[in-house]
A and B are shown apart, each in its own frame.
Chain A
C-alpha cells in the first residue's frame, strides 16, 4: 500500500483534480447507469429499495468511496513526510480526496432509501 502511494507521487498538483474527477465519473456512472437500467430492465415497483439496481449502485459507490478514502490516507502520510510546496500540495489534495469521498457517501445516501425508476 505504502509503495503504491509513493508511486502515485501524491505531492504532485495533478492530485488536486483526480479526486473530484473520480467523483464526476462516479456521478455520471450512477446517474447514467440508473437511467439506462430503468429503460432496459426496470425493477418492479413493489420491490422497493431492495433491487439489484440499488445494490449495484451501492456497490459502485462503496468501491469509489474506498478508493478515495485510501488516497486521502496516502495524502495525509505525504503531508507528514514533506515540507514547503510538496506539503502544501499534499494537504490540499488530502482535503480534496476527503471531500470527494464524503461527497460520494452523501450523494449516494438516497440509494438506500429511494426505490429506483419511479
Chain B
C-alpha cells in the first residue's frame, strides 16, 4: 500500500468527535489509573518531574545556605553529603530525563500527525515505574538514610565497607527502577517516530524536534544499560558479597567509573538534545522563517549522538590512565564542540535572516544561547588534560556542569513550556510576570555559577561541607549563595505565572505564535485522540503552507475519520518515505501496567529490606502480570478480533508481519545488546586490568555441555524460523506443534546451561572471576527461560486462534529473541569457556 487518498466523505464533525471520544476518552475516578493515553501520561510525567524539581531545588538551597559563610554548622557533614548526593540524583534522574521524556511523550504524536504513541501500555508502565522508583528513593531522605556517596556513587566509597547503611541500596534499586521507565519511553518513542508518522511525512520532511527526540531516545536505549549493569553488580556486591569492585578478590573499583560514565557522559547529551530541539523549533517560529540549514542540523544531531559515547574517560583523567589514551579522549572531547557550534550558527543565521519577535519564550532561548555557549567553552577547557588535572573535583567543574545542564536544559525547557502553554491549557501566560521570572533567574543563575568558576580556580574542592575563613573563599561563596536565592525567586515567579495562567490567563487564539508544525492543528487543550482525521503531509511547514489544515482535519476531510469499528487506530507508515503500510490498532486503557509496576515496587522494597523470598514471589507475580498483559494483543477479543477495514485501506498491523511490535522488539534488543556488551566489557576489563584477577587453573565450565546447550538453542531457532517462512507463504499447518517443539529445545538449552553452572562449583563470593561468570550464566538462563515461556504462549495462542495465517504478526516478534539468544549464548560460550582455555589466565 503506498498512498491512501484523503477521503472526500462529508462527516458531521460533532458526531465524529463524539464517536472518537467514546473510543479514546479518558475514564474518571479510580479508573483514571488505567489511562494509557499519551497526552495524559505526558502531562503526568511533567507534573511529577516538576514536583521532584522543587524538591531538588530545596536541597540546592540547603547546600548554598550551608556554604554561604565559613565554618557553618547548619548541617552536619553526613546530612550535607546526603543532601548533595540527593540534589544531583533527583535533578538528573527524577527531573531532567523524565521531564524531557514527558514532553516528548506529549508532543511527538501531535507533531508527526499520530493519535498516540505506538505502545500506550508501555507509556503507562514507564510512568508508574518512574513514580514508584522516585517515591522509594525520596523516602530515604525522610528516613535520614539517603545515599551519601555523591550522585555518581563511586566505589569503594559506595560499597558496604564505607557506606554500611541502606543509603547506597536506595540509590541502586531506586534508580534502576526509574531506568525501566526511561528505557520504556526510549523504545516506544523510537518506534513511534519511525513507524507512525502521518502519510507522506518522509524522513527528510520530519519536524526537527522529532529528529532530536529520535536521537535522544536511541541514546537512552544504548546509554542506560551500562549503568543498569553497574547498579546490578554493585547491589549484588553489597547484598550478597559478590566482589566485583574489591581489588583483593580480583575486582576493580575503576570498573564502576567506566560503566557509570559510559552512561553518564551520553546522559548530558540525552538531556541537551531535546532541549536543543525545543530551540530549533522555537527560533524559526519567532523569526518567521524556516530554519537555515535543516540538513546541517540533522547532521549535527547525528554527530552529537555518536561522539558523545566516545568521551566518557574525560571524567577519569586523574585515575592513572596512560597519556596516549588520555589524548584520544581529549581529542574526542574537543570534537563534540563541532556539531554544537554548527547548531549555534544555524540558530544565529535563522535569527539574522528572519524578523525575530522577542516574545516570552524567546527570552529564555536567548538566555540559553548565552549560558550554554559559556558552558560549552569551559567544556573545551576541561577537555585539555593538564587543565583538567588542575581543576578536577573543584567548584570550577560544578560551575561548568551547571552552565551546561541548566543553560542547556532548563532554559530551553522553560522556553518550551511557555511556548506550548496555550496548547496545554488554551490560555496565555502573563508577559510581565514571565519577564520578571526570566530576569531574576538569569541574573541569579549567573551570580551563582559564574562566581563559582573563580571559587574553583581558587582551589575550593567540591563536596566539602564547610571551609575555613582563611582560604579566601568567603565573599565568593556569599555572593553565590545570595544569587542562588535570587534565582529561586525567579523560578518561583515562573511557576506562579504558570499556575495562575490556568485561572487568569487570557484565552489563546488558535495557533497563537503562528507556528508551522502539526501540534497546533489540535484543539486547545487537545482531545484524547489528537486529530479527527489524519492528513497527507509532504512539507516541513504544514501549517504555514496550508493555514486551513487544522479546520479540514477537524472536519474529518482527511484519512481514518471513522470510529464505527470501535478500535483506536492510526497509520503505520514506511520509516523512510512515509508511505502508508498498515493501520495500527492500539490497546485501550488497562490495569496491567499499574499492577506490574506495583509488583516491581514490592520487589524493590523487598530487596531493600533483604527479604529475598518475598522479592522472589513478587518477581513471579510481576511476570504473570506482564504475560497477562501480552496476552491481550493481536486477534484477542479485547484487541482486534475482527480485521475489517474500509475499502482501499491497508490491513491491520496484527494481520501483517511488520507491525510496530517487531520494531519495538528490535529496539529493545539493541538495549539488551548494550547491556550484554557492557557485561563483556566488564569481563575483559577485569581479566586484563584488575591487579589481583586470577583465572582458575582448570576452567570451571564444561565446554561440551555448553556446546550442547548452544546446539539446542540453535535448533530451536531453526524450528521457529521455518514456521515463520511457512507463515510468509500462507501455511500454518503444524504451527502450534512447531512452537511446542521449539519451546522444548529452549527448555533443553536452559537445563544444560543450568547443569553446566551446577557442575562448575563456582564460589561467587570468594573471587570476582566466579562472580562475574555467574552473572553471565544467569543472563543466559533468564533469556533462555523467557524464550521458552513466550514460545509456549505462542503455541497456546495458535490453539485459541489468535495466531495463524490470518494473524501472523506475533511469531515475527518472538523469533527476534531467539536470534538474539543464539548470538549472545555462543558469544558467552566463547568468552567464558573457550577463550580462557586458549589464552589462559
Chain A residues in the interface with B (C-beta under 8 A): 12-13, 16-17, 20-21, 23-24, 27, 30-31, 34-36, 38-39, 85, 88-89, 91-92, 95-96, 99, 103, 106-107, 109-111, 114-118
Is B142 in the interface zone, CB < 8 Å from A? no
Q: How far is the CA of A103 from the CA of B331 in the complex (A)?
A: 9
Which of B327, B328, B689 makes the CB contact (< 8 A) with A27?
B328
Partner of B295, one of A13, A36, A92, A99: A92
Chain A residues with Cβ below 8 Å from B332 are: 27, 103, 107
Cα of A89 to Cα of B332 in the assembled complex, Å: 26
Contacting chain A: which of B302-310, B345-353, B645-653, B784-792?
Answer: B302-310
Look across to chain B and name the residue whose beta carbon is closest to the beta carbon of A17.
Answer: B302
- Among A12, A31, A92, A107, max chain B CB count under 10 A is at A107
Given contacts A89-B204, A115-B324, A117-B322, contact A24 B309 (CB under 8 A): yes
A51 CB to nearest B CB, Å: 10
Partner pick for A96 among B299, B327, B331, CB 8 A cutoff = B299
B202 within 8 A of A: yes
Which residues of B come within 8 Å of A, CB atoms?
202-204, 295-296, 298-299, 302-303, 305-307, 309-310, 313, 322-325, 327-329, 331-332, 334-335, 338, 576-577, 688-689
Interface residue from A23, A99, A103, A114 paired with B324 (Cβ < 8 Å)? A114
- A95: which B residues are within 8 A, CB to CB? 295-296, 299
User: A13-B203, A20-B307, A27-B310 are contacts. A35–B335 as well, Cβ < 8 Å?
Assistant: no
Q: Would you call B303 and A13 a contact (CB within 8 A)?
A: no
Show 20 A/B contacts (Cβ-Cβ < 8 Å), sorted by A: A13-B203, A23-B306, A24-B309, A27-B332, A31-B328, A34-B324, A35-B689, A85-B202, A85-B576, A85-B577, A88-B295, A91-B295, A92-B295, A92-B299, A95-B295, A103-B307, A103-B332, A106-B334, A107-B335, A110-B331
- Give me 14 other A-B pairs in contact (C-beta within 8 A), A12-B576, A88-B204, A103-B307 excluded: A20-B303, A20-B306, A20-B307, A24-B306, A24-B309, A31-B325, A34-B328, A89-B204, A99-B303, A103-B335, A107-B335, A110-B331, A114-B327, A116-B322
Check B295–A39 contact: CB distance below 8 A.
no
Number of A-B pairs, beta carbon distance below 8 Å:
89
Question: Are A114 and B323 also in contact (CB < 8 A) when A13-B203, A35-B688 are?
Answer: yes
A96 to B215, CA, bound (A): 15
Which residue of chain B has the shortest Cβ distance to A106 in the bound complex?
A: B331
A105 to B305, CA, bound (A): 20
Tell me, in angstroms, the Cα distance from A91 to B302 when the chains sit together. 14
Taking the nearest CB of chain A, how far is it from the CB of B337, in angstroms?
12
User: Chain B contact residues: over half helix, strand or loop, or mixed?
Assistant: helix
Tell which of A38, A88, A110 touches B328, judged by Cβ atoms closer than 8 Å. Answer: A110
Residues of B within 8 A of A39 (CB): 688-689
B310 touches A24 (CB 8 A): yes
Given the complex, which residues of A lie within 8 Å of B299, measured CB to CB? 92, 95-96, 99
CB distance from B374 to the nearest CB of A (A): 24
Q: Once the chains are docked, how many angstroms separate the CA of A95 from the CA of B576?
A: 19
Shortest C-beta distance, A104 to chain B (Å), equals 10
With the chains together, A110 CA to B322 CA distance in Å?
12
Q: Which residues of A have CB within 8 Å of B327? A: 110, 114
CA of A103 to CA of B328, assembled, Å: 11
A107 in contact with B298 given A38-B322, A85-B202, A116-B324 (CB within 8 Å): no
B570 to chain A minimum Cβ distance, whole angstroms, is 23
- State whether A117 and B324 are in contact (beta carbons under 8 Å apart), knowing that A16-B302, A24-B309, A88-B295 are contacts in the complex: yes
B547 to chain A, nearest CB (A): 25
Chain B residue nearest in CB terms to A113: B327
Contacts of B338 in A (CB 8 A): 99
CB neighbours (8 Å) of A116 from chain B are 322, 324
Contacts of A17 in B (CB 8 A): 302, 306
Given A91-B295, A92-B298, check contact A34 B306 (CB 8 Å).
no
Nearest chain A CB to B838 CB, angstrom units: 14
Q: In the bound complex, what is the Cα–Cα distance between A99 and B336 (angstroms)?
A: 11
Residues of B within 8 A of A103 (CB): 307, 332, 335
Contacts of A30 in B (CB 8 A): 328
A23 CB → nearest B CB, Å: 7
Contact A118 B323 (CB under 8 A): yes
- What distance in Å separates the Cβ of B289 from its nearest Cβ neighbour in chain A? 20
Residue of B nearest to A32 (CB): B684
- Check B324 against A111 for contact (C-beta < 8 Å): yes
Q: Which residues of A contact B334 (CB under 8 A)?
A: 106
- Considering the chains assembled together, what is the distance between the CA atoms of A99 and B688 in angstroms? 32
- C-alpha spacing A110/B324, complex, angstroms: 7
Top 5 A-B pairs ranked by shortest CB distance?
A110-B327, A20-B306, A107-B331, A88-B204, A114-B324
Q: In the complex, what residues of A have CB within 8 A of residue B323's CB?
A: 114-115, 118
Q: Across the interface, which residues of A come within 8 angstroms of B204, CB to CB?
A: 85, 88-89
A35 surroundings in chain B (CB, below 8 A): 322, 325, 688-689
Q: Which residue of B lies closest to A89 (CB)?
A: B204
Flag if B331 contacts A109 (CB, 8 Å): yes
> What residues of chain B lie closer than 8 Å to A36, measured between beta carbons?
688
Q: Which residue of B lies closest to A12 (CB)?
A: B576
